[in-house]
Each structure stands twice: as C-alpha cells, then as structure tokens.
Structure 1
C-alpha cells in the first residue's frame, strides 16, 4: 500500500510539473480545463484576457465563484508540491553543483599535460625519421639478398628434382613425388626451354612413369579403395585427367551376368569412392548401360513372337520395379522411374493390342473352316453349318471373356503402374473392342464382296479365300448373333470391369460405341442374307439359262419325258433348303393371296388354255383372243412382289430365290422362238415344277402365277401354240416321279452291295 501511494504521489507531482512547464499530456489538460474554456489555461499560447472575458460572458456568477475556489485550491496544491519537490532534492542539487566544480578544475590541468605530450611525440617522430633514412639503403640490400637466396634455393631444388623424384618413386612415395613436382612446376614452365631444359625433360619422363603407375593402380581391382582414391587425387594434382582410366561401362562390371544389376551398383559405389568428383562422368558412362537395360526390358515385355499372359507381365513388372528402385537410389538424376513407367505403358499397350489381334485371328480362323465343311471323300460325317456357327459364336464369347479377364487381372494386380493413365487404359480396352467389331464388320463386307458361285460337287477342297454361299449365310447369322447377344453381353462386362474412361480423339467421342456397332452389324447381316439369296438365285438362274438357251426350239419334237434341268433346279433349291434349315427358323406361312403380275394370265385363264389345248389348230383364233384380253388387262393387274424386306426365316429365303429364278426363266423364254413341241416341253416342265416349288415357298399362289407367266411367254413366242391337255401332262409327270422313286430305291441297294 505504501509503495502504491508513493507511486501515485509521484505521478501527480510529474503531472503538475508538466502542466506548469507547458509539456503536460492531454489527460492533464482535460482535467483542469473547464468545459467552456476557449483554450487550455496551461498551454504556452494561453490568452488570459480572452479567457477572462469568455468566462464573464458565458459563465454564471455561482459557477464563477466555484471556479475561483477551485483555482485557489490548485494554486495552493502546486505551491506545496513544488516546495516538497525542492526540499526533497536539495541534497542532490548540492552534490551536482560540487561535481561540476571539480570537473572544471581537473580539465584545466589536463590541457597543460596534453600540450607537453604532443611536444614529446613530435620529437620522437623526428628521431625515428632520421633512423629510417639512415637504414633505408641497408634494408633494401638485405631484401635483395633474401630474394636472391630464395631463388638460389629454388634453382638448387629444381636441379635436384629428378633425383628426388626417382627416390620417391623407388620408395613408392607417390605423394611426395607429386608434391615436389607440383612445387617446381612454376620454374619448369618459366625456364624449361632454356636453362632447365634437361632438368625438365628428365622430370617429365619420371612423372610420365608415375602417371602410368597411378593409372595401373586405379585399374587394379586387388588394390584397396583408399589407395585407388589416393591415386586419383595425385593424378588430379599432376593436372592429368584421372577419369580417362574409366571411359565406358565395361569398367563398371565384369563378365559375370548372374546378377548384373547388383554388380553394376557395387561397381558404381566403388567408382564414386575412387572418383569423388566424377559424378557427371559416372552418369554419362552409365547411360549406355541404362539404354541396353531398357532395350532388353522392352524386348522381354514385348516379344515379337509368342504371347504373354497377364500373370507373366505382372511378375515382370514387379521385378522391373525392384531393379529400377535399386538403381534409382544411386542415380536419381537418370530419370529411371520415368523410363520404367514408359516401358510398362508401352508393354501394356502392345499387350492389349496383341490380345485383340489374336482374338480377331481366332474368330476369322473359325470362319475359314466353313469352307471345308463338305468333304465327299471323308469317312467322317461333315460338320453342319449349325456346328460351325456354334463354334464361331463360342469363339467370340469365350475369346472376349478371356481377353477381358486377362486385362482385368493386369489392371487389378498392377494398379500402381496405371495410376497416371488408368482412364487411358480403360479407353484402350474399350477401343480394342470397338476396333475388333469394326474389323469383323469390314471382314464380313469384304467376304460379301468376294462371294462367288457355289463350285461343283466334284471339285476338291476349296482354298481359304473362296467364299461359298454357305459361308455368307453363316456370316449373316453370326452378324445377327453379335448384334443381339454378343455385343450386349460384352458391353455389360466392359462397363462392370472397366468403368469410367476418358474421351478419345479430337471429337471427344467415347472409345466404345455399342449402338453404332449394333447398327452396323444389323445392316451387315441383312446385306449378307440378301447376298446369299442373290448368289443362290444366280446359281439357279445358270441352270435355267442353260436349259432354255441350249436347245433348238424351232425343231423340237413333241415331249415324251421331262428334261434333267428340272431335277437339277429342284436339287439346287433342295440344297438351299438344307442350308437354311440348319440355321433359320421356318417362318410364318402366308395366307392365300391372289396377286397377278402385269401381263399375266389368271389361274382360270391359264386352266382354260390347258383344257383347250387338246383341240385342233382351228381353235387358234380363240387362243389369240385370250392373249389379247390378257394384254388389255395387264395395266390393271397387281404385281408379284419379288424383292421384299429381308426376313430371317426359311420361307423368305427360299421364296425369294424361287421367285428370282422363275423370273429369270420367264425372261429367257421371252428371248426364244418355239414350235409346237418346244412350247409343249416348256409347259410340261412348268407343270412338273409347280407342286414341288409350291411346297417350298410361303405363298403357293406366287409360284402358280409365275409358272403361268412362263407358259404365257412361251405361248406368245410359239408359232403353233397348241398346248398339251391336262391328262397328258399328268401322265408324263407321274411317269417321271415313278422313275425317280425307283432310282432312289436302287441307289441304297447298290451302296450296300
């Protein structure tokens, strides 16, 4: 409490003194300044008259009296505080005054002594200058003699340098020899071509021997590393490049390739100990080793022949990471990790590409065997088209699944290698399937363009490039299988196992577009099926053209039998039916439709012609009249739809082939001229073909109408159009059928015999 009171009292005293001397703070001014004062009373520029006048004008009388009392109290307080301050510090004032008096007395005596000292220093300096002047010449002489003595010592050392160097080399004191030579090097350089020429030549020869010994010591693996490092240091002192002793990576490893990487690292550590300042040179000569190493790595990860599985690649990747990590610890500036990542990425890209290429080859190989499906000389029963289709489908599904599993295993077990380009890897896999299906579509289109007619049965096995109609039909069904089953299944697996991915190409389109592939496959399947129909129709048309164009119809006799052309045509249609029955469903049978082609004779008209055919030529005007009626009705009749929308069923395929063949039959007949026998032969063959073809197509009426068109065309081109009656036609057809059945019964008996 006492200390606190003293501090408070001291603070009040300081504030009073500050206010009295005009350097008080704003707090003290605000304490004593009345609220209505125009200017602080304690400030140096205080205007007392203005202050008084302001108080008299603005302050009431009672407040003036209060202010007077306050100011009188403040004056008394200030007087007492000042008096207390003076009494309290009186002794200090007296002591300060005495000290100032004594200092003044001492300073006056010191000035005299300083003057005397200055005079003495001046005298001593003069004497010293005299001594220096008298000894200057002797000092210069002594310095000259010292220089001469030093030079003589150097000359003596230079003349004795060869002897010293020989002695050091003989005692293997290579450090001393290097020290002596390096110390004499300035003199030898300056006077080596004149006075010290012989001495310099001897010394250089000895140093050359020393350098060879040091180099041999560095290369000697039996010498300890400290000694070899010391030899390197001495060569550097002698201004000889020590790194020339190891200029290639052959110095870093021996011939033992058992663990060449560890050996290389050991030799690199030794090299650093021997050549402390040779880091750049070590990195330079190691670059050749790294190039060879990564070249070997690329060859092992990307073999030109054979196929590596994902498990083998994962093992190789792990070993590569271990080896590169070991080397990267010693050579961080060599960017080995980046080169290893690049090697892994290239290997993975090539692996993915090779997987899809192998799958593409397997799929195409499964299609080539279709060309060998029919082997007449083979004892084993030939495989059916359905079996070949199942093989191709199994190859596609199983092969795609194997590829996906392989690439998935590569991604899961080597995830650390795909951290930077995981999306690119996903795009790579998806793009592989896009390219695979695109190549298959192009291959199917190429085979469709290269399709040829079915070769005769007597031909031997066909070449791999021959495209049979059966192969075209199989490709069509395989395209639909890809469109409906394979692509959706593969898309689901790819989306599950390889989600995400980025965007490939400048257009930013996805790597795998299933909808686009399915659209192309659907279009390709329809083209292939239409191509199959066209090829088979051409084959049947060849038979028809030969049958119509070969005979001389103007000299043809009355028919007594049905030509083999009809059997050949039915056999061709039967082969088509055998093919499509293996791969296509039957399809819906259409209801009876009566569509008459332009210029056709209706069923009633053609029947009338057939019934009246047994009459004599006197009825010829009536026939001509019927033909005229047909020509008049031609613009008003309906057309037979030959080319309709593609349908994947047996009836559509066979019906379209039959319609195209009969249309060819009609056009060929229109180009010929017949006599009565020729016309009746055409009529007989149409009657024979009518029932078998009607049983094969979806609409029997179409076959009946188109055969009637053939008969009508022959009637138009006939000079004596007298048709056979129905009884004669039926008798000849039945005879042909009986003959065919007996031949079929005899064939198994002959085979058994």
Structure 2
C-alpha cells in the first residue's frame, strides 16, 4: 500500500497532528500544524476548494499520474479510517479509567470522616488542658509582670535623679548632643511628675539645659565656628523645642525689608540705561548669620545681596527651601506688579524692554542660587501676563485717543463754539488717530518681536496672536464706541427711526455724520493698510488653536464698519428729517384751514424749511464728497406722472369754476398715472453731498404730503399750499441729484391738497407769479443783513 511506503517519521508526524487536532482547545492551532505538514495542494486545510484542486490536478498530471494519485488517496483514506478507530478505542479506555478513579476516591472519603471526628476530639482535649494551665499560672504571671514594671520604673527614677549630674558633665565636655538626648528622654517623666516627685530634679535639669541653650546660641552666632557646627547647633535647638523659627524670622525680616526697599521705579531704569554693562553688587556677605544682609540704605541694596543671603540661609536652615522660594517669587512678583502699575499710564515699547531686561538678568542670577524656585518659568508666566496687559493697554489708549478726538465736538459745542467749524477738524483728527495710532502700535510691537531677549523669543507666537486679537477687539470696541457717541444701540436689528426725540436731542447730528464718514474711511483705507502691515511683520502665531479660527479677520471688520457707516448715515438723515418734520407738523396743525384767508405771501415756514436745509448742506459739504453723477432733469416727453398732474391743476382747473368737474379731472389724472412710466423716488443713499441732501428733501416732502392729507382745506387754504409749494421748487432743486423726483413729490403735495379741498380752484398764473416774485425780492433784501 502507498501508506506503508511512507517513511516512519512522516507517519509519526501525521499521528501527532491528528492527536493534537483532537485534543487541542483551539482548532486554529491544529489547523496551522496540519497546514505546515500538508502538501502544496493544501488538501487538509479548512479553506480547501475541491473544484480548484481537481482543475489544477488535471492540468498538471497525465492519466498515469491521475491513476497513481487515486491509488495514493485511497490508501490514505483507509489509513485515516484505521487511525480514527484507534483514537476512539484509546479515548474509550481513558474514560473507563477515569470512572474507576472516581469510585476509589469516593470510598476513601467515606473512611476519612471518622478520622476527622477523632482529630476534633483530640483538639478539644488539648484546648481544655491549655485553659487549665493558663488559669493556674495567671496570678503568678501577673505578679512577675508587675515586678518587671517596678524594676523598669526604678531604673527611670534613678536616671531622673542622676540627670542633673549627667548634664553637668556634658556641659564641661561640650557633649551637647548627649545632653540633649538625655534631657529629651526624661521630658515625658518631667511632664507627668515634674510638679510633684521630681520637682528638684526638673528645676536643676532646666537650669543645665538653659546653660546648654545659651552655649548653642553662642556657637550659632560665632563667626569662628564653621557652618556645619552652627547647623548642628540649630538641629540641637530644634530638639530642645527652642523657637528656632525666631532665628529664621530675623533673617526673613531682613529679606522682607530688602523686598520693601527694592524698587523698580525710575532709579533702577535710569541706572540700567546709563550703565547697562555694570554688574550687580554681590559683596558684603560672609557665611555668618549676623551679616545677613547689612543694614543698608536703599541705594546699597542689590539682587547680589539678596542672592548671597539666600545661599547662606539654605546652608544654615536646610529645611527653609519652601519659604525661600516664596520670598524669591514674591520679589519678582512685586517687580512685575510694578510694571503693571506703570502700564496704567502710557508706556512705550522701549521702556518695557528696559524693565524686562533688568528682570531677566536678576532671574538668571537668582536661578543659580535657588534653582528649586523655577524662577525662569515663573518669570515667563509673569512676563506673559505683563506683555499681554501691555498689548491690551496700548489698544485701550488708542481707543481713548480716537474717542477724545471725536468727543471734542461735543465739548466745544457745549462751550458755545461753532459746531460746523469743528466737524471737518474732528473727522481729520479721527482719521489720523486711527491710522497713525495703529501704525505707531505696530512699530512698537515690532520692537518686541525683533528683540533677542529670551523671554520675548519664547513668547513670540503669543505676541503675534495678541496683536492680531488686539486689533480685532479694538475695532469691535471702536464700533461700540461709535454707536455710544451716536446715541444709537449697537444692535444690528435696530432701526434708526426707533430713536426718540429726547435721545436725538442729546446727540449732535454733525457728529453722527462724522462717524458715518469715519466708518467708511476705516473700511476702505485703514483696514487694508493695517492688514498689509500685519501680513508683513506679524504673520505666524497660531498658539490660540485652529479650532478658534484666525485672530484677525479684516473681512469681518470691514463688514462691521460698512454697516456702521450706512447706519450712521441713515441715522443722520432720520434726525434731520425728524427735526424738519416737527416744523412742518406745527405749520399744518396750528391754523384753521377751513377758514383760511386768501394767500397774500409765501408762508414763513418756507423760510424756516430752507434755513434748515441750508444748514444741512453746510454740514454735508464739510464732511461728504461731491457725487460724480449730476442732476437728472426731466422733460414732459419723458412720460412722468408729475407733468400729467401739474398741468391739469395749474391750467385746466383755472379755466373751470365747477367743483365737480375739477374732481373729475383729478380722477382722470389718477387713472393716467397707472399707465405712465413708474418713477423711482427713493434710491440707495450714497456717501455724497447730493445723495444725502436729496434723500432728506424727499423724506421731508413725503412728510409734508402726509400732513396735508390729514387736513381739510377751503379754496384759500388750497391756494396758500399752491403758493408755498411753487416757491419751493427752484430752491429745493439747487443741491439735489434728482430734480424730476423733487418735482414729482411737490406735485404730489399739491394733488393731496386738492383732494382734501372743498373747492379746489387754483390761483391764476399771474397772481401766483406776483406772489412768488414778491417773496424773492424780500429774500434778496434780507440776505445782506445775514
């Protein structure tokens, strides 16, 4: 058979693999073992594919090979069946053997129960006999222990009586360590019986200890004694519960006195500036305690004295490290606090650099003496806070400068000075404060980045982030300050029309116009220039984390001030329009239009209206530029509804005396308007003189139209409105950019008056021209007087 032809080693390997696959707890191990011994065809593997195996076998073998393979596989199958039967028989015998073993164990356990009972009886017997022995020996044992305690007590009593003599011998031999050891050992007995039985011994021992304490103090303060001997004296004094802290306190008081005298005011800054290479004083200190530090005046105190004091203090009081660390950190904390106090006033970058260099030099010196204090790290954190405050305070001062430049308008206006002459000055001052102040800040911050001081090098990325964040916060605060000066809320949803009259009276309208133009300047000029400087000199940073986004977002700032400029411009228009509307309302609510007399002249409110518009023009001309687009004039062929309306009123109605026919003509005019070209009256307000004035005039005329609609006129009242409106045509169109819209709105006012008139008969053209010419002549006579 083919199986018999296999070598003995191969048969043994196959048998071991089969046994391991049967008993192995992890089938994967058996599979891996069989895979190693399997042929290249992997017929014994779990991933065996019979179809693929047959295809490969047919391709690689001829007919004789296939027959030979068939014979081999048949022999292997028969051999495997035989091995499987042997495995079953062997395991069956093992199960039978295990069953027999369990039966034998059960029989043995039954016999052990009787032995355990016998053992328990013997243990109980031993325990009873032991209790009897303990009972019989209890009284004797207690007596022996009492005698032993008495013997020990007598030894202690004898030691206490001999203690004064022992201490005297130690004093003579200067064996102060033995004396302290003897005395501290007797202290518990003295505390318990020192006031009764051992009163004399206690008194004599205390006298001897007093002598020892005095000798130790003399040794401590002796300059001839080495530092090690004086340190041992301090240890012995501690063991005697002598207030050694008082010795520390003396030194600490001197060190604290040094801290109180050490100042970083102008004296130190001037010294460093005048002698930058002069070393600090470090002399005058020896290893003796009495010379820590000398009683010197303020100008004799230096970091060198302090460092040498700390060095000696650590040798004599090794456990004083924590307190020294507190003092050292307190020193530099005070110095950084001094810097922060000086920052309340405006401090230049050069001054800050001088102070930081001086502090870092002292930190380096102290770190050599007291490295446990980690003063470089401590100072780095303190410098981080100081520089951050410097950046923040610099932007705060800049914000104050811009606010002061704008607040001068209010202040000088209250003093009775001419407001209009201040507007242009305030605008230029505000522009200069924003752009020049920002450039000066960037120059100062650049000095911090260019300096090679180790503190500043470590904080470079943070400084860049603080500068960028500072500009972002500065412009956000500046926007809030602008809204505060304008008297409007900073809410993005607030409408300028929601500002009541009392609030508007407290705000100078000219200042609002200055804020509008300054906001546009910041958006279009200041932010691009600042962005260029930041990109050139303050790029990098990134310490704030990418999740928070960039520190400086110029697009967001431009959006804020673009919106602010539009808001302030609309607020200015609203305030001026509201003021004129009050005049118009008073004009139309005071007289009785039903009983109005025939018009004799143009009404006085026209002069008041023109004066207000003239004042607006003066303000606007100072602040806003002129527009590029000039006036749009209309012609009757343009298809405007104004010409259709005005001509029937001025001409056709004059030829008719019948009221009903006049009203029919008005209805026809309204119908004609529906088929005419629509006119756009209110367009987007631009930051130009003509656009602002035009918008104010249009709003005033719309208000005038609404006031007219609320009244009822007789023929004379209607004719008075006709005279006033006709006179206003030419003056209103002088400074506007859309004459057609003005004509349209004026015609609307006349139409509204005609609609509310009981007898809408217009004045004859001759009479109308006569009244207007008389008013023009009167105005020419009054102008020189102004």
TM-score, normalised by the number of residues in structure 1: 0.69
The partner residue of 1:699 within 733, 738, 741 is 738
Inter-partner Cα distance in structure 1 for 2:519 and 2:596: 50
CA distance in 2, matches of 1:438, 1:482: 12
The answer to whether the aligner puts 1:556 opposite 2:596 as a matched pair is yes
Equivalent residue in structure 1 for 2:621, among 574, 578, 581: 581
Aligned partners of 1:209, 1:524: CA distance in 2, in Å? 86
Aligned ranges for residues 39-50 of structure 1 at < 5 Å? none
2:477 aligned partner: 439
* Matches for 1:33-432 after TM superposition, within 5 Å: 162=164, 176-178=174-176, 181=179, 202-215=204-217, 217-218=219-220, 220=221, 223-224=222-223, 226=225, 229-234=228-233, 236=235, 239-240=239-240, 243-248=244-249, 249-250=252-253, 253=292, 256=296, 257=298, 258-259=300-301, 261-273=303-315, 275=316, 278-279=317-318, 281-303=319-341, 305-372=344-411, 374=413, 377-378=416-417, 383-413=421-451, 415-432=453-470
Shift of 1:270: 2.9
Report the Cα distance in structure 1 between the residues aligned to 2:597 and 2:213, rounded to whole angstroms: 121
Secondary structure of 1:695 counterpart: coil
Summarize the Cα distance change of 1:179–1:386 in structure 2 as closer, same or farther, 3 Å threshold.
Answer: closer
The Cα offsets for residues 91-137 of structure 1, whole Å up to 9 and x where unpaired, read as xxxxxxxxxxxxxxxxxxxxxxxxxxxxxxxxxxxxxxxxxxxxxxx
Contact 1:642 1:656 in 2 (8 A): no
Cα deviation for residue 567 of structure 1 reads: 0.8
Give the whole-Å Cα distance in 2 for the aligned partners of 1:707 and 1:596: 19
Shift of 1:679: 0.5
1:490 to partner: Cα distance = 0.8
Residue segments in structure 2 that go unaligned for 5+ positions in a row: 1-155, 256-291, 490-495
Aligned-partner Cα distance in 2 for 1:711–1:529 = 30
In structure 1, stretches of 5+ residues that fail to align are 1-153, 457-461, 748-753
Alpha-carbon spacing, 1:159–1:676, altered in 2? closer, same or farther (3 Å)? closer
Give, in whole Å, the separation in 1 of the partners of 2:568 and 2:636: 29
Q: Distance between the aligned counterparts of 2:345 and 2:556, measured in 1?
A: 33
**Aligned in 2, Cα 1:230/1:638: closer, same or farther, shift over 3 Å?**
same
2:656 and 2:177 map into 1 onto residues whose CA distance is 144
Seen in structure 2, the aligned counterparts of structure 1 residues 415 and 465 have a Cα distance that, compared at 3 Å, is farther
Q: 1:333 to 1:231 in 2, by over 3 A?
A: closer
Cα–Cα, structure 1 residues 520 and 155, in superposed 2: closer, same or farther, change >3 Å? closer
Q: Secondary structure at the match of 1:641?
A: coil
Could you tell me how far apart the structure 2 residues matched to 1:432 and 1:562 are?
A: 59
Q: Deviations over 1:273-326 (max 9, x none)?
A: 4x2xx32x2212313422431331232111163232211211111111122222
Going from structure 1 to structure 2, the CA distance change for 1:610 and 1:374 (only over 3 Å counts) comes to farther
Partner of 1:116: none
241 and 291 in structure 1: CA distance in 2 versus 1, 3 angstrom threshold: farther
Q: Would you say 1:501 and 2:541 are equivalent positions?
A: yes
Rounded to whole Å, the distance in 1 between the matches of 2:444 and 2:547 is: 30
Q: Does the aligned pair in 2 maintain the 1:268–1:282 contact within 8 Å?
A: no
**Superposed CA offset, 1:500-538 (max 9, x none):** 110636733100011121122222212222222222222
Say yes or no: does 1:541 pair with 2:581: yes
Distance 1:161 1:228, change over 3 A: farther
Q: Give yes or no for contact 2:402–2:430 (8 Å, CA) kept in 1.
A: yes
Could you say if the C-alpha distance between residues 696 and 234 of structure 1 is closer, same or farther in structure 2, counting changes exceeding 3 Å?
closer
The CA distance in 2 between the partners of 1:650 and 1:531, in whole Å, is: 15
Root-mean-square deviation (CA, aligned residues, Å) is 3.7
How high is the TM-score relative to the length of structure 2?
0.66
* Maintained 8 Å contact 1:585/1:649: yes
Aligned pairs for 1:578-657 (under 5 A) are: 578-587=618-627, 588-593=629-634, 602-612=642-652, 615=655, 617=657, 619-657=658-696
Per the TM alignment, residue 333 of structure 1 is displaced from its structure 2 partner at its CA by: 0.9
2:378, 2:447 → 1: CA distance? 23
Cα pair distance change 1:184/1:167, threshold 3 Å? closer
Q: Is the Cα–Cα contact under 8 Å of residues 329 and 373 in structure 2 kept in the other structure?
A: no
Query: What do residues 200-226 of structure 1 show as CA deviations (whole Å, max 9, x unaligned)?
Result: 7524421222113423553x4xx3062
In 2, distance between residues paired with 1:333 and 1:226?
28
Within the alignment, does 1:526 sit opposite 2:566 as a pair? yes
Q: What residue is the counterpart of 2:60 in the other structure?
A: none
Q: Mean Cα displacement is larger for which, 159-168 or 643-652? A: 159-168
The CA deviation at 1:376 is: 8.8
State the SS of the aligned residue for 1:302.
helix
* 8 Å contact kept, 1:371–1:464: no
SS of structure 1 residue aligned to 2:210: helix
Deviates more, 1:426-435 or 1:533-542: 533-542
Q: How far did 1:686 drift?
A: 0.4
Distance in 1, Cα, partners of 2:413 & 2:225: 84
Task: Determine if contact 1:541/1:661 at 8 Å carries over to the other structure.
Answer: yes
Task: Select the structure of larger CA radius of gyration.
Answer: 1
